[in-house]
Amino acid sequence: MTIARYTLRFPALDLNAVRRFYAEGGTPEKLVREIYRRITERGNDAVWIYLPPLEGAVANLPTDTSLPLYGVPFAIKDNIDVAGWPTTAACPEYRYIPAQDATVVARLRALGAIPIGKTNLDQFATGLVGVRSPYGVPRSVYNGDYISGGSSSGSAVSVAAGLVSFALGTDTAGSGRVPAAFNGLVGLKPTRGILSAKGVVPACKSLDCVSLFTTNVSDAQTLFDITRGEDAGDPFSRPLPRYSDAPGGTPRIGIPRESQWEFFGDVEARELYRQAVEHVRAQGNPVVEIDFAPFVETAQLLYSGPWVAERLAAIESFYKAKPDALYPTTRNIIGGAKKISGVETFRGLEKLAMLRRITAAEWEKMDYLLLPTTGTTYRVSEVMEAPLKLNTTLGHYTNFANLLDLCAIAVPAGTRPSNQLPFGVTFFAPAFHDHSVCQIAGSFLGEPLPVAQTQGVTLAVAGAHLTGQPLNHQLTERGARLLRTCRTAAGYQLYALGGTRPPKPGLVRTPGFCGPGIEVELWSLSSAAFGDFTAQLPQPMVIGEVDLDDGTHCKGFLCEPCAVTAEGTREITSFGGWRAYLASL
């Protein structure tokens, strides 16, 4: 069987649409003005907490058309910092103005993306409903009587309404997946720590993830690849291991035993899930039943266990000083942490460890777990009458993910016939299987994706292989992809080498040297392409390990020290990079 492709309510402003716009002569200023027109036309939809003035927004737009996200507009959940913009976490009295971008925002801006504004959320990212905010209630773009899902409510609606190409959310309990399901979107919840959480107001710091809302899986995978990276400023940051994470053979899809299906009376959602299961089976994937009970038991720990105390730890000083500033439901949830003892915390950790062992046995039976993103959806009025009970039902299929260290991607899976509201499913996989979970989701939607370069190598280039330089084609011809521009750590010197054609610099590691750091581009190559590329490397160039200014490291071009003594060579470290040096000539 085939599964009906979901039709977005508004035209998608996806990455390809933006690229076409610029290819046909559009400019970032025209696009931003059009976005502000659309925002104005929608009126007070409670999506935005902060939008900069239009004229200020168009005054500092990217100009480098070679950047991989040149002119791509995105929204930011208002618990993620943007330098100079207020961060509120949907609590006006918590408001502060950060001096620096969150790491993930800084990386996106460096790649040419345009931040449009800060979006509404369930206060302090506590909730899956999208109604716990003094800034109003964003609603599903398909029916304004229904919730948009939370906590990343405004971010999801901003993408679904065609106002931005993608949006940043966060996901501790399901906040990057539930709003995707209720607005017909793709919601990628990466492995914890792969996207830096530095500059994010924490909910549960040990569990939080930065998440991505897009209109297709390809965009989600692309954005994941160019924003990921270990961050020394985030204590929970982790690198993505350099190995292929795709399962061998035909992927086995796990589903709960049918007696464990829970749809809270939503018969249409139950039927759509059944169709999704039949769809993956028709695609040739073995479908295996697993015991879902330990996953549900894990999910219950998130709000009934000691992790509620971590929510209080995140804002304890503010909570003690201004408890009445919190939204009532949020205050009651976080305030419950005061009753949790150290003994209960260690009991909870022990219980989680046992549940991880039990669920690991279930993972031996499957490669991916396919679940409804939620069992049902609700009207805004229903949630207002029973805020805690209905929020709990929405987390039935989501709350366990970060506790069990899983990655997940939520995708559309049809429409409820009675009210035309979207239904969604989520694919789960163990930690670090982010690429393969995107691949299986793309296959489910009939959206072929390029094979992710999970066996690839990240290479730092500093000279003639930079974008626009004469040897850059040696990378692009081998299928390399530009990830981002950054700088080396301080202990490197740069030399303009004499007698090289075309002109080349030499990057030399100098222990004890403290310089400005050298501008480099990071490129991703498959292992085969990297081997072919390095086999043709001429003297005096070598490949070594290059330390970056964010504390990470990768392979990179270096130079034999003897080359810097050649006639005509000069040190150019003070320029901070090859491009700046060339511009000075």
Specify the pLDDT at position 534: 79
pLDDT tens for residues 457-472? 889 999 999 998 999 9
Cα–Cα distance for residue pair 414/166, rounded to 1 Å: 21
102-114: burial string, b at 16+ Cβ within 10 Å, e else: bbbbbbbbbbbbb
Q: Which segment of 478-487, 512-521, 572-581 scores lowest on mean pLDDT?
A: 478-487
**Quick one: average pLDDT of 242-263?**
83
Is residue 455's pLDDT more than 80? no
Specify the pLDDT at position 3: 56
Specify the pLDDT at position 230: 86
Quote the strand ranges of 421-471, DSSP E: 422-430, 457-461
CA 410 vs CA 217, 259, 426, 570: distances in Å? 9, 23, 4, 54
Type of residue found at 238: R
**Quick one: average pLDDT of 418-435?**
95
Specify the pLDDT at position 239: 85
Specify the pLDDT at position 4: 52
Q: Which segment of 32-36, 249-253, 522-526 scores lowest on mean pLDDT?
A: 522-526
pLDDT tens for residues 255-274? 999 999 999 999 999 999 99
Q: Which residues are catalytic?
A: 77, 151, 175
pLDDT tens for residues 141-182? 999 999 999 999 999 999 999 999 999 999 999 999 999 999
How crowded is residue 223: how many other Cβ atoms within 10 Å of its Cβ? 26
The Cα angle at residue 306 between residues 305 and 308, in degrees rounded to 5? 90
Q: What is the mean pLDDT of the chain?
A: 91
Query: Higher model confidence: residue 448 or residue 519?
Result: 519
Residues 6 or more apart whose Cβ sits within 8 Å of residue 121: 77, 78, 79, 89, 90, 130, 133, 150, 151, 152, 153, 154, 155, 175
pLDDT tens for residues 334-352? 888 788 888 888 998 999 9
Cα–Cα distance for residue pair 467/94, rounded to 1 Å: 42
Is residue 331's pLDDT more than 50? yes
Percent of the chain with pLDDT over 90: 69
Cα–Cα distance for residue pair 356/48, rounded to 1 Å: 38
Banded model confidence at residue 454, pLDDT cuts 50, 70, 90: very low
How crowded is residue 243: how many other Cβ atoms within 10 Å of its Cβ? 9
3-state secondary structure of 47: coil
Question: Using alpha carbons only, how large is the chain's radius of gyration in Å?
Answer: 24
CA 388 vs CA 323, 335, 392, 569: distances in Å? 19, 14, 6, 69
Banded model confidence at residue 401, pLDDT cuts 50, 70, 90: very high
Phi and psi at 259, nearest 5°, equal -65, -15
| Residue 202 near residue 178, CB atoms below 8 Å | no
Q: Which segment of 195-204, 231-240, 265-274, 389-398 scores lowest on mean pLDDT?
A: 231-240
Domains plus CATH for the chain?
Answer: 15-302+345-444 (3.90.1300.10), 457-584 (3.10.490.10)
pLDDT tens for residues 61-71? 999 888 889 99
How crowded is residue 360: how many other Cβ atoms within 10 Å of its Cβ? 12
Place of tokens 């200014």: 549
Pairing between β-strand 481-487 and β-strand 519-525 as defined by DSSP bridges? antiparallel
Strand-pair partners of 338: none
Cβ neighbourhood burial of 268 (10 Å; 0-12, 13-18, 19+):
middle
**Quick one: average pLDDT of 212-241?**
92
Cα–Cα distance for residue pair 143/160, rounded to 1 Å: 12
The model's pTM: 0.80
Cα–Cα distance for residue pair 221/447, rounded to 1 Å: 12
**Quick one: average pLDDT of 435-463?**
81
Query: Higher model confidence: residue 7 or residue 70?
Result: 70
Banded model confidence at residue 247, pLDDT cuts 50, 70, 90: low
CA 301 vs CA 113, 126, 151, 298, 391: distances in Å? 38, 15, 19, 5, 15
Specify the pLDDT at position 66: 85
Specify the pLDDT at position 248: 61
Strand-pair partners of 369: 254, 428
Banded model confidence at residue 250, pLDDT cuts 50, 70, 90: confident
Place of tokens 């046995």: 361
Is residue 493's pLDDT more than 80? yes
CA dihedral for 423, 280, 209, 345, sign (positive or negative): positive
Type of residue found at 50: Y
User: What would the DSSP string read from start to end of 1-24?
Assistant: --PPPPPPSS----HHHHHHHHHT
Is residue 1's pLDDT more than 50? no
Task: Report the candidate in 436, 431, 541 with the shortest Cα–Cα distance to residue 495.
Answer: 541
Specify the pLDDT at position 507: 92
**Quick one: average pLDDT of 187-212?**
96
**Quick one: average pLDDT of 83-101?**
97
Torsion, Cα of 24, 29, 33, 39 (10° steps): 90
CA 103 vs CA 83, 94, 286: distances in Å? 11, 21, 40
Strand-pair partners of 75: 117, 167
pLDDT tens for residues 533-567? 877 777 778 888 899 887 778 889 888 888 888 88
Specify the pLDDT at position 559: 87
**Quick one: average pLDDT of 291-319?**
89
Query: Higher model confidence: residue 81 or residue 563?
Result: 81
